[in-house]
């Protein structure tokens, strides 16, 4: 249970941090630091066992179907990284406690995120399942994003960092999937054991490239290095922890962890050594000319990560082992350096080298820490950095694999190291020596102490570097199977690495001397920048997305409808042309022809009408004629439904029209001609299709069956109605639901009282007042009032009768509901909206809701009684007559239809609320005029 606890403790602490932070403020950082200290101590307690080569594992099934486990593993490599994460984390928390002002609310947020990050990072280095590693890896990217861009001003840098590392994350996922496909396991130890399968696989090239992309993006390798200097807008504790000591090492960790898998793969070796070496040189020499101390340190980190990558590529036992120890050394000196930069920045207000100097008197502790750490970075004895740099050089001198590669790597590392010495001296001399340029405040001791501790540790471990030899060997042996045969020490005699070191330091000192001259030469020149390239690509991607979106979005319905209709017409014509009609064409009556002729006239009227009222009148006429056509074709139910729907449509359109200008907005000539052309094509196509493909056979078999069996099965004579409520009742339930959705749509669109008064809109030339409508929507007419008093109850009674008899004769729920809707419209027109709004009966949601509940309840009752949803059947009444149970269903249909009419009248037929304040311009107060 040790390993899950190590990962879970920081994550749990992160979750509790915001709660504790409310009480403790920035002191919560110390609580989180204590948690990390506990983790450090726990890990340290395992040190003897780890050095003996013991490996602790933990494994619980996670998604057994996919073969994924929550698998953790602590070996030498994982131990070194985990110790860095927890140990540096502890000191960073103490440092951050003094970095943030007591009143700074960011402190708690940063504390939570840093602690969460620590948990994620421990997950990365301890995971033994490559998918689990991926998840933890992504979590570090996300926490990094929020830590960089937290206060908003760093959002550009944060976005760059996130996108680059997210790209790497995707590459890691793809590489992980390919690796597990090749080896048949997601266990990292299992993958390493199956290294031969990977090397033999044709997928080895994409796998290597994906892993390299993943590690290169995370560990800021050229040409993806640019995000790291950009991430320096983060608070210094964040830069210290994530962007110097730990997160950027995740890529190196991945390379070291997978190095055994790619042992002997030439592409792996060559690309890693060359990319790493180039990055090392580039980072070091760019760092030499930086003025901003944080950017200097960031480029220095890029350079060091390049060295580590090259070592991972070399892949010999010594290279992998010394890379791990150098990670330790680098964490010690680089974290210390960032902390000192933070102290300088905090106490002087600047981190520009041109404005700094002479701080050794005012910040003696920081000056000591900074100097020790910088000398360790430069690789000077007797510091730990010297020992690890020596052995790194030795690893390249000894070589391994292709000879030219090790030599090339050695040259690159030596050139980079000269730059390293140069910028290390520049930092020390520029910040702590020389005249005072910007005075410093006195920092709290706790603010300076963490850096000093780390620097002194780097000093002590130089002479004591022999104690690290077991770690070097255990890592090398676990990764490669053989030890290094090297004893870490300050003095090995006169060796090639020592001579190289002497040369490097000499070169570095000369470089430092020549520094001002080089700066003058470089002033004003600016090489190609990765940031610019990234930003251009990013902006271009967004522009491309915008264009794609623009082509698919428009406020003009014609933009959508036009293409759809043209395609539809093409399909119609093709279908008609390719299918050969069979059977004899249908005949028509003279009455048919007359009706169709009248329909054509009415349709032309609808299309041509300039005024709304004329259009609606022509529309109503069209509907009535279509109803007549239905009647001619033996469909009285349809005809009645059509008549009622048309009446209601006209009434409802008129209700809405009162709020709209009298005439239509006319389209231009192009639109009229184009629309006419499309309409003619669609119309002719549909006509042709109807002529050639329909009506050339008798009744359908299923129609015959319904005619024969409707009465025996359901007891209803009206076969159409039995289809609606019995045979295909599920369809009808769906259709009723559509009506309910329409009613809900109207309700939600226009729920609140209207924002504009009834009557003609501003600027309407005609009908200003005196349109016959009262303010609340009613028509001023005594005759109408009196007639409604008689007609409305009669209509309601009729609708009930239509509903009841529907099973046996013309009628049913739809028709009855529409008739009742007509009665409601009459009531509305004579009594006005106000009465309707206040009525307890005409309410949208209760009405449609009750209707659907009755229809659905009827279906469930059938399920309970007969084992089939909407089963139906007959019920025998006490008098002996039997009634179809589906009448209940029809009542539900009835209510939903009436509810829809009510919805339109309630929500679209509303007058101006009488107590609504009206502004001077005629609109209600509180709503902006014009379009929003």
Partner 1 sequence: MSAAVIVGVLAAGGTYLILQRGIVRIALGFVLLGHAATTLLIAAGGVGTRAVPFAGAGADAADPLPQAFALTAIVIAFGITAFLLALAFRSRDVQGDDDLEDGR
Cβ at position 847, least distance to partner 1 in Å? 14
Interface segment toward partner 1; rule CB under 8 A; list 123-131, 155-163, 314-322, 549-557: 549-557
Interface segment toward partner 1; rule CB under 8 A; list 107-115, 368-376, 609-617, 825-833: 609-617
Q: Do 407 and 399 touch, CB atoms closer than 8 A?
A: yes
Phi, psi for 359 (deg, rounded to 5): -80, 0
State the Cα–Cα distance between residues 606 and 930, nearest whole angstrom.
30
Helices (H), 127-260: 130-148, 155-183, 188-193, 195-200, 204-218, 227-230, 236-240, 249-258
Cβ at position 820, least distance to partner 1 in Å? 13
State the Cα–Cα distance between residues 53 and 320, nearest whole angstrom.
16
- Select the residue interacting with partner 1 from 526, 669, 840, 931 (CB under 8 A): 931
Considering beta carbons, is residue 104 or 711 the nearer one to partner 1? 711
> Interaction with partner 1 in 763-822: which residues (CB under 8 A)?
809, 814, 818
Distance of CA 46 to the CA centre of its chain: 41
CA atoms within 13 A on the CB side of 923: 12
Can residue 713 be called a binding residue for partner 1 (CB under 8 A)?
Answer: no
Considering beta carbons, is residue 541 or 608 the nearer one to partner 1? 608
Residue of 364, 352, 348, 373 lying closest to 432 (CA atoms): 364
Interface segment toward partner 1; rule CB under 8 A; list 339-347, 348-356, 746-754, 868-876: 746-754
Cβ at position 749, least distance to partner 1 in Å? 5
Six-digit token pair at 501?
Answer: 């070191």
Give how far Cα 897 sits from Cα of 644, 646, 724, 857, Å: 12, 14, 15, 17
- Select the residue interacting with partner 1 from 12, 464, 653, 845 (CB under 8 A): 653
Sign of the CA dihedral running 790, 795, 800, 802: positive
Query: Which residues have CB under 8 Å from 562's CB, separation 6+?
Result: 674, 678
> Interaction with partner 1 in 675-694: which residues (CB under 8 A)?
675-676, 678-680, 682-684, 686-688, 690-691, 694
Strand partners, 875: 883
Can residue 425 be called a binding residue for partner 1 (CB under 8 A)?
Answer: no
Considering beta carbons, is residue 228 or 651 the nearer one to partner 1? 651
Six-digit token pair at 134?
Answer: 């991926």
State the Cα–Cα distance between residues 802 and 804, nearest whole angstrom.
6
Considering beta carbons, is residue 434 or 667 the nearer one to partner 1? 667
Can residue 897 be called a binding residue for partner 1 (CB under 8 A)?
Answer: yes
> Interaction with partner 1 in 237-276: which residues (CB under 8 A)?
none
**Count of residues that bind partner 1 according to CB under 8 A:** 118
CA atoms within 13 A on the CB side of 569: 14
- Select the residue interacting with partner 1 from 346, 735, 798, 850 (CB under 8 A): 735
Residue of 502, 348, 505, 329 lying closest to 430 (CA atoms): 348
Site string for partner 1, 579-598 (x = CB under 8 A): ------xxxxx--xx-xx--
Task: Write the DSSP assignment of 90-102 as a string of letters.
Answer: HHHHHHHHHHS-T
Residue of 182, 183, 143, 184 lying closest to 166 (CA atoms): 143
Can residue 922 be called a binding residue for partner 1 (CB under 8 A)?
Answer: no
- Select the residue interacting with partner 1 from 66, 561, 730, 794 (CB under 8 A): 561
Strand partners, 58: 72
- Select the residue interacting with partner 1 from 140, 424, 480, 622 (CB under 8 A): 622
Q: Do 328 and 401 touch, CB atoms closer than 8 A?
A: no
- Select the residue interacting with partner 1 from 499, 633, 787, 882 (CB under 8 A): 633
Cβ at position 835, least distance to partner 1 in Å? 20
Can residue 706 be called a binding residue for partner 1 (CB under 8 A)?
Answer: yes
Six-digit token pair at 495?
Answer: 């060796």
Interface segment toward partner 1; rule CB under 8 A; list 16-24, 281-289, 396-404, 898-906: 898-906
Can residue 22 be called a binding residue for partner 1 (CB under 8 A)?
Answer: no
State the Cα–Cα distance between residues 609 and 617, nearest whole angstrom.
10
Interface segment toward partner 1; rule CB under 8 A; list 308-316, 537-545, 712-720, 826-834: 712-720
State the Cα–Cα distance between residues 720 and 159, nearest whole angstrom.
64
Can residue 728 be called a binding residue for partner 1 (CB under 8 A)?
Answer: yes
Cβ at position 814, least distance to partner 1 in Å? 5
What count of other Cβ atoms lies within 10 Å of the Cβ of residue 831?
A: 18
Phi, psi for 87 (deg, rounded to 5): -70, -50
Considering beta carbons, is residue 536 or 697 the nearer one to partner 1? 697
Can residue 642 be called a binding residue for partner 1 (CB under 8 A)?
Answer: yes
Interface segment toward partner 1; rule CB under 8 A; list 273-281, 408-416, 756-764, 779-787: 756-764
Cβ at position 863, least distance to partner 1 in Å? 23
Can residue 916 be called a binding residue for partner 1 (CB under 8 A)?
Answer: no
Give how far Cα 181 sits from Cα of 35, 167, 171, 759, Å: 39, 21, 15, 71
Cβ at position 854, least distance to partner 1 in Å? 17
Can residue 634 be called a binding residue for partner 1 (CB under 8 A)?
Answer: yes
Can residue 637 be called a binding residue for partner 1 (CB under 8 A)?
Answer: yes
Can residue 671 be called a binding residue for partner 1 (CB under 8 A)?
Answer: yes
Cβ at position 579, least distance to partner 1 in Å? 14
Considering beta carbons, is residue 381 or 636 the nearer one to partner 1? 636
Interface segment toward partner 1; rule CB under 8 A; list 383-391, 450-458, 536-544, 627-635: 627-635
Phi, psi for 755 (deg, rounded to 5): -90, -10
State the Cα–Cα distance between residues 267 and 421, nearest whole angstrom.
31
- Select the residue interacting with partner 1 from 184, 264, 745, 772 (CB under 8 A): 745
Considering beta carbons, is residue 538 or 573 the nearer one to partner 1? 573
> Interaction with partner 1 in 377-416: which residues (CB under 8 A)?
none
Query: Which burial class, exposed, middle or buried, applies to 187 when counting CB atoms under 10 A from its CB (0-12, 13-18, 19+)?
Result: buried
- Select the residue interacting with partner 1 from 762, 786, 787, 797 (CB under 8 A): 762
Query: Which burial class, exposed, middle or buried, applies to 915 when counting CB atoms under 10 A from its CB (0-12, 13-18, 19+)?
Result: exposed
Cβ at position 700, least distance to partner 1 in Å? 6
CA atoms within 13 A on the CB side of 743: 27
Phi, psi for 181 (deg, rounded to 5): -65, -40
Interface segment toward partner 1; rule CB under 8 A; list 8-16, 223-231, 378-386, 699-707: 699-707
State the Cα–Cα distance between residues 364 and 287, nearest whole angstrom.
25
- Select the residue interacting with partner 1 from 357, 399, 636, 913 (CB under 8 A): 636
At 883 the three-state DSSP class reads: strand
Considering beta carbons, is residue 738 or 875 the nearer one to partner 1? 738
Considering beta carbons, is residue 51 or 744 the nearer one to partner 1? 744
- Select the residue interacting with partner 1 from 750, 779, 804, 845 (CB under 8 A): 750
At 792 the three-state DSSP class reads: helix
């Amino acid at each position: 249970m040790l390993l899950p606890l190590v990962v879970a403790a920081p994550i749990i602490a992160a979750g509790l941090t915001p709660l504790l932070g409310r009480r403790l403020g920035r002191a919560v950082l110390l609580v989180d630091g204590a948690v990390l200290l506990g983790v450090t101590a726990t890990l340290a307690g395992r040190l003897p066992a780890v050095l003996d080569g013991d490996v602790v594992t933990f494994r619980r099934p996670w998604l057994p179907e996919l073969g994924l486990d929550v698998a953790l593993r602590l070996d030498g490599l994982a131990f070194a990284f985990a110790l860095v994460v927890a140990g540096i984390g502890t000191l960073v928390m103490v440092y951050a406690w003094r970095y943030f002002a007591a009143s700074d609310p960011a402190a708690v947020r940063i504390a939570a995120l840093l602690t969460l990050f620590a948990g994620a990072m421990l997950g990365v280095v301890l995971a033994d399942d490559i998918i689990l590693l991926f998840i933890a890896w992504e979590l570090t990217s996300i926490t990094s994003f929020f830590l960089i861009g937290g206060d908003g001003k760093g959002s550009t840098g944060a976005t760059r960092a996130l996108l680059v590392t997210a790209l790497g994350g995707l590459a890691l996922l793809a590489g992980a999937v390919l690796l597990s496909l090749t080896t048949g396991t997601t266990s990292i130890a299992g993958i390493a054991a199956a290294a031969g399968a990977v090397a033999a696989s044709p997928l080895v090239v994409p796998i290597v490239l994906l892993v390299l992309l993943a590690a290169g993006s995370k560990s800021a390798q050229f040409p993806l290095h640019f995000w790291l200097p950009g991430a320096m807008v983060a608070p210094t504790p964040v830069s210290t922890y994530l962007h110097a000591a730990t997160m950027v090492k995740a890529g190196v960790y991945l390379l070291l962890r997978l190095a055994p898998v790619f042992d002997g793969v030439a592409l792996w070796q060559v690309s890693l050594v060359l990319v790493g070496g180039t990055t090392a040189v580039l980072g070091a020499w760019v760092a030499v000319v930086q003025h901003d101390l944080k950017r200097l340190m960031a480029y220095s980190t890029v350079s060091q990560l390049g060295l580590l990558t090259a070592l991972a590529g070399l892949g010999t036992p010594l290279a992998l082992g010394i890379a791990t120890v150098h990670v330790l050394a680098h964490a010690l000196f680089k974290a210390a350096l960032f902390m000192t930069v933070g102290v300088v920045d905090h106490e002087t207000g600047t981190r520009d080298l041109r404005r700094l100097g002479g701080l050794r008197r005012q910040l003696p502790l920081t000056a000591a820490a900074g100097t020790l750490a910088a000398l360790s970075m430069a690789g000077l004895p007797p510091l730990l950095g010297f020992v690890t740099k020596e052995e790194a050089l030795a690893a390249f001198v000894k070589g391994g694999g292709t000879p030219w590669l090790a030599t090339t790597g050695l040259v690159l590392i030596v050139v980079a190291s000269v730059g390293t010495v140069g910028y290390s001296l520049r930092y020390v001399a520029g910040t702590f020596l020389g005249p005072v340029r910007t005075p410093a405040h006195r920092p709290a001791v706790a603010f300076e102490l963490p850096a000093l501790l780390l620097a002194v540790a780097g000093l002590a471990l130089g002479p004591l570097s022999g104690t690290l030899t077991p770690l070097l060997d255990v890592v090398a042996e676990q990764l490669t199977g053989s030890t290094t045969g090297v004893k870490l020490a300050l003095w090995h005699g006169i060796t090639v690495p020592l001579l190289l070191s002497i040369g490097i330091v000499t070169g570095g000192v000369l470089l430092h001397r020549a520094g001002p001259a080089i700066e003058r030469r470089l002033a004003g020149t600016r090489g190609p920048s990765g940031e610019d390239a990234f930003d251009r690509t990013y902006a271009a991607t967004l522009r491309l997305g915008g264009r794609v979106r623009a082509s698919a979005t428009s406020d003009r319905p014609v933009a959508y409808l036009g293409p759809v209709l043209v395609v539809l017409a093409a399909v119609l014509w093709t279908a008609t042309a390719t299918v050969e009609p069979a059977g004899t064409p249908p005949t028509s009556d003279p009455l048919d022809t007359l009706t169709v002729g009248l329909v054509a006239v009415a349709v032309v009227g609808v299309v041509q009408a300039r005024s709304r009222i004329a259009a609606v009148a022509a529309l109503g006429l069209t509907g009535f004629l279509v109803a007549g056509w239905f009647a001619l074709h033996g469909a009285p139910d349809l005809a009645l439904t059509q008549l009622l729907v048309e009446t209601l449509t006209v009434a409802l359109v008129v209700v809405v029209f009162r709020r709209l200008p009298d005439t239509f907005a006319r389209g231009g000539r192009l639109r009229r001609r184009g629309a006419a052309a499309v309409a003619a094509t669609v119309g002719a196509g549909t006509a042709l299709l109807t002529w050639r493909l329909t009506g050339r056979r008798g009744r359908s078999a299923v129609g015959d069956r319904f005619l024969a069996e409707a009465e025996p099965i359901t007891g209803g004579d009206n076969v159409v109605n039995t289809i609606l409520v019995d045979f295909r009742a599920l369809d009808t339930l769906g259709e009723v639901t559509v009506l309910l959705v329409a009613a809900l749509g109207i309700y939600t669109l226009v729920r609140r009282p209207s924002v504009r008064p009834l009557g003609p809109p501003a600027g309407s030339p005609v009908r200003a007042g005196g349109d016959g409508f009262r303010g609340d929507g009613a028509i001023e007419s005594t005759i109408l009032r009196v007639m409604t008093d008689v007609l409305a109850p009669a209509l309601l009674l009729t609708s009930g009768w239509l509903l009841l008899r529907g099973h046996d004769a013309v009628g049913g729920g739809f028709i009855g509901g529409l008739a009742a809707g007509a009665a409601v419209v009459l009531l509305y027109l004579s009594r006005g909206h106000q009465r309707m709004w206040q009525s307890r009966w005409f309410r949208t949601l209760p009405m449609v809701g009750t209707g659907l509940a009755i229809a659905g309840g009827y279906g469930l009752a059938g399920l309970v009684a007969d084992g089939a949803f909407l089963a139906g059947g007959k019920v025998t009444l006490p008098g002996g007559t039997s009634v179809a149970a589906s009448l209940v269903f029809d009542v539900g249909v009835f209510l939903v239809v009436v509810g829809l009419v009510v919805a339109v009248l309630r929500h679209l037929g509303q007058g101006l609320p009488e107590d609504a304040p009206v502004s001077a311009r005629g609109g209600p107060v509180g709503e902006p005029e014009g379009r929003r």
